[in-house]
Amino acid sequence: MKRIALVFCILTVFIAGCGTPVITLTEDERSTIVTYASGVLLKYNRAADKGLTSATLSEEEETTEEKSAEETATDEEETTDASSESSEETSYAPDSDAVAIEEVLELNGLDIEYDSISYMQTFSEGDYFDMSAASGNTYQVLTIKLTNNTSSKISVDILNQNPTLTYEINGESYKAMTTVLSEDFHNMQTSVAAGKSKTAVLITEVSEDDSIDAESIILYATVNGTKGCVTLL
C-alpha cells in the first residue's frame, strides 16, 4: 500500500503542471515505481506474453525433441534387426556332416565349379537321342566345370561309382535325373589334361514356374552312404 501511495503522489505532482517544484527521487524510489508500473502493464496487457519466452512451451519442445530422438533410435534398431534377419534368411550353408565332394568321387586335384544354369523344353544329343519335358514342365540344366589345376592328367570315372546326385538352389533341393546322355555327370568317364577343363550337366524336370535366379548352389554326391558336397555359388 505504501508503494501505491508513493506512486500516486508522484503522479499527482506530475499532473499538477509546471508550477509544482521538481521532486528529486532516490534510487530505491525509482526502482519501486518502475517495478510497480511494469507489473500493472503486464497484468492488463493481454498480448504481453507474445513478447516473452514461454517456459511451458520450452518444456514441451524439449519433450518433443526427446521423443523424436527416442523414435529415431528405435527405428534405427528395427532397421538393424531387419537387416540381420534378412542376412540370416539368405545365408545358405552345406550340410555339416558332408565331406569334400572330391574325396567322395575320387576327384582329388580337380576343382568342380559352377558354369551356368538354363531352362529348356527339350534336350537332345546328336541325331540319335532327345527327350521332352511334360506339359507345363521344363528341364532345369545345371552345367558344372571340372578343372585340372595340377601338372598331370587326372582320370574321371563317375559312372562306376553310381552316385546319388542332388543340388540345392537358394536352399531348395533338387535330385538330378539319370539319363543316357554322354554329357550327364552320372555317366562321366574321361580324363582331364593338366591345366584343362571339361563340362558336365545335371538335369532335373521342374515346373515352368520354378525358374528362379540362383543366389546359392550347393552340389551333393552320395556314394555308399558317404555324402560329399561343394559350394558352386
- pLDDT given at position 26: 73
- pLDDT given at position 59: 57
Fill in the amino acid letter for 187: N
Residue pLDDT, tens place only, 157-185: 999 999 999 999 999 999 999 999 999 99
Residues 210 and 113 in one domain: yes
Domain count, the chain: 2
* Residues in Cβ contact with 110 at an 8 Å cutoff, skipping those fewer than 6 apart: 102, 146, 147, 148, 149, 154, 156, 192
* Torsion sign (Cα): 43, 49, 55, 59: positive
Read off φ and ψ for residue 136, nearest 5 degrees: 85, -5
Residues 141 and 216 in one domain: yes
Of 88, 113, 146, which one is at a domain's C-terminal end? 88
Residue 147, helix vs strand vs coil: strand
Would 160 be classed as within a structural domain?
A: yes
Residue labelled with grid coordinates 499532473: 15
Residues 126 and 217 in one domain: yes
CATH code for the domain of 104: 2.60.40
**pTM attached to this predicted model:** 0.63
Residues 153 and 219 in one domain: yes
CA nearest neighbour of 104 among 181, 166, 179, 169: 166
Domain that holds residue 21: 2-88
- pLDDT given at position 50: 53
In whole angstroms, give the CA distance from residue 129 to residue 137.
Answer: 19
Which stretches of the chain are DSSP H helices?
Answer: 2-15, 27-44, 55-89, 101-104
Residues 10, 33 contacting (CB under 8 angstroms): yes
Residue pLDDT, tens place only, 83-140: 555 445 567 888 999 999 999 999 999 999 999 999 999 988 888 888 999 999 999 9
Would 42 be classed as within a structural domain?
A: yes
* Residues in Cβ contact with 127 at an 8 Å cutoff, skipping those fewer than 6 apart: none
Maximum CA extent, the chain: 136
- pLDDT given at position 158: 97
Residues 108 and 158 in one domain: yes
CA nearest neighbour of 217 among 169, 185, 173: 169
- pLDDT given at position 87: 45
Residues 199, 115 contacting (CB under 8 angstroms): yes
Would 93 be classed as within a structural domain?
A: no
* Grid cell listed for 217: 548352389
Counting beta carbons within 10 angstroms of the beta carbon of residue 210, is it exposed (0 to 12), middle (13 to 18) or buried (19 or more)? Answer: middle
